[in-house]
Copies of this chain bind each other. A is one copy, B any other.
Amino acid sequence: MDDASPPPGHGFDTGGPTLQEIGEAELLRRLTAVARRHGDDDRLVVPSGDDAAVWRPPGGAGIVISQDAIVEGEDFLRSWIDPEAVGRRALAVALSDLAAMGARPALCLVTLCASGTSRVDDLLAIQEGIGAAASQAGCRVAGGDVSAIAGPLVIDVVVVGTVDPGRALRRDRGRPGDLLVVTGCLGGAAAGLRLLLDGRREPVPAPGGHRHGAVGHGQGLQGRAHPPAEDDAAAEAEERWLGRQLRPRARLAEGQALVRLGVACAGDLSDGLIVDVGRITDASGCAAEIWLESVPAEPGIHTLLGEAWVDAALGGGEDFELVAAVAAERLDGLLARWPGGLAPLHVVGRLTPGSGLRLLDRRDGQEVPLPPVASRHFRQP
């Protein structure tokens, strides 16, 4: 046997499709299938494949655990954001999965992979950002790992929380007839990403922490200049969209309120309404329709994006809002009892029998083509 030519099946890169050929969603499906074969255990109340796993330790309550990585060059660029904000963002992205289960955060751990030429102060600032955001969420930093890498910065965050195992919000608890309800507004993060890709950077905080929006606002809008009278409002909107992209907040209180008010099915909007509702219908074994005229778009994105606001609001992702499926007869009670301080609820569609997802405009009764899904991972170059 020749040492230099290993037999088929041995070693890396021996053939088969690449990740960019099958895409992130299909990769996740296949990995989850493998994980579930190795995850069978009645203590694992919610196994691999939901926003987070729920585990019932011996003699204990429900433990929710999730892991989320952000990678330089894929999820952020150094020119967009400072290290402390990257840390905050990494934690918020991970906490969003706990929010989607209705859990209370308890712990986090962080792996940082960085090249040897990275600045120590940058990594400490990332850790500070994670710690500060963790404290705000009632979550303790419990450890992690560091590793060298000849490549981009990787921040991989694990979050652990608690939930009543029988009441965790699950993707597989939707039923045909349930109404689809989202928290907050959609498309802001995608609009912010568009501004960043067009060359806008995050406004630098002025002394005292007040942010002013006057740093080159509007310059990235590719021909969409604002009349002078609208400048202030436009700058304010842009700052809000940048904030949605760079400084997301996990909807923890909203997830806990959904549990408290008896909702059983929800997920977070990390990849956009189309993809994340698709995860609910796949897990619940049903179909869905989304009502275009009911989608709560982030205010002002029509001005920036024109018709493409639909792509941002439905396919853009990273808004980290929640989407829940609510039995129709319970909707009025949910809306009536929804706490005033939380992100408002909006009905955006419903689950139906069958499979697949349709986008309808009920103003004219037409079916609308689904917008492209803007997954930023494993794109074709």
Contacts and interface: CB of A to CB of B under 8 A. Distances in A.
A66 B132 CA distance: 21
Interface string A100-130: 0000001101111111111111111001101
B121 A19 contact: no
A368 B57 CA distance: 48
Interface stretch (A146-154, A229-237, A256-264, A316-324): A146-154
B119 A158 contact: no
B69 A34 contact: no
How big is the A interface, by class?
A: 35 or more
B15 A121 contact: yes
A140 interface: yes
B149 A145 contact: no
A180 interface: no
Contact of A216 (B3, B113, B205): B3
Contact of A17 (B18, B30, B58, B119): B119
Given A53-B107, A140-B38, A15 B150 contact: no
A377 interface: yes
B69 A120 contact: no
Nearest to A219: B3
B57 A142 contact: no
A159 to B, nearest CB: 10
A40 interface: yes
B127 A34 contact: yes
Nearest to A158: B158
Contacts of A151: 149-152
A131 interface: yes
A225 interface: no
Given A63-B63, A78-B11, A147-B70, A142 B48 contact: yes
Interface in A316-360: none
A320 to B, nearest CB: 15
